[in-house]
């Protein structure tokens, strides 16, 4: 059972479940505050919990709103498909150039509707996935994500060898990454 309560101006959706402890999350892209709580927890305990986490909540809601503003949701399915087609065209143009320059190779790539990461690499198959959110980002930011995922085809983790290759192929990558943090 889910109920909505208002705590110090915050709208909080509370769901009681068979769990041991309370947990909270902020949804993307709308910034809803959701709490799951054990059946035995009282409203007074929930209110105290929310108040104790107020700074975390405020920061999280701001982060979600900044992200939503930087990556507006397409107005309709046609707009989303236009963005997808445009991003695929950009990747198809940039990926071979970066592969040629670095000597790194992908065994295929896909554009996915990912909201929590810019890209991913299957280190076993060397298949790359790129977030549709990249459709709103610059070519330089796209190149950074492509390179980042290509480097994962030879170095799975984020250790010193990974960063050494990033430095070798894109010396200013750290500044580009800062821009991608929203």
Token pair of 15 as six digits? 């769901």
Q: Measured between alpha carbons, how far is residue 50 from residues 21, 38, 39 in Å?
A: 14, 15, 17
Domains of the chain from N-terminus onward:
2-70 (no CATH), 77-180 (3.30.2010.10)
pLDDT in tens, the chain (182 residues): 789 999 999 999 999 999 999 999 998 778 899 999 999 999 999 999 999 999 999 998 888 887 777 666 666 788 889 999 999 999 999 999 999 999 999 999 999 988 889 999 999 999 999 999 999 899 999 999 999 999 999 999 999 999 999 999 999 999 999 888 75
Whose tokens are 């397409």? That residue is 74
For residue 14, the cross-strand partners are: 3, 35
Whether the link from the prior residue into 29 is cis, omega within 30° of 0, is yes
Quote the CA–CA distance of 109 and 17 in Å, as a whole number: 40
Q: Where are the alpha helices (DSSP H) in 113-180?
A: 139-151, 160-169, 173-180
**pTM of the predicted protein model:** 0.66
């Amino acid at each position: 059972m889910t109920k909505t309560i208002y705590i110090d101006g915050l709208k909080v959706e509370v769901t009681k479940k068979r769990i041991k402890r309370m947990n909270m999350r902020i949804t993307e892209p709308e910034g809803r505050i959701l709490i799951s709580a054990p059946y035995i927890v009282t409203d007074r305990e929930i209110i105290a919990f929310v108040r104790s986490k107020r700074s975390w909540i405020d920061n999280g809601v701001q982060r979600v709103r900044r992200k939503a503003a930087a990556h507006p949701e397409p107005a309709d399915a046609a707009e989303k498909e236009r963005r997808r087609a445009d991003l695929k065209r950009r990747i198809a143009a940039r990926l071979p150039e970066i592969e040629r320059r670095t000597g790194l190779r992908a065994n295929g790539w896909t554009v996915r509707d990912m909201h929590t990461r810019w890209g991913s690499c299957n280190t076993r198959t060397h298949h790359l996935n790129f977030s549709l959110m990249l459709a709103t980002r610059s070519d330089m930011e796209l190149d950074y994500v492509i390179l980042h995922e290509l480097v994962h085809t030879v170095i799975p983790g984020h250790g010193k060898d990974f960063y050494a290759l990033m430095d070798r192929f894109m010396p200013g990558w750290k500044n580009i990454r800062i821009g991608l943090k929203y």
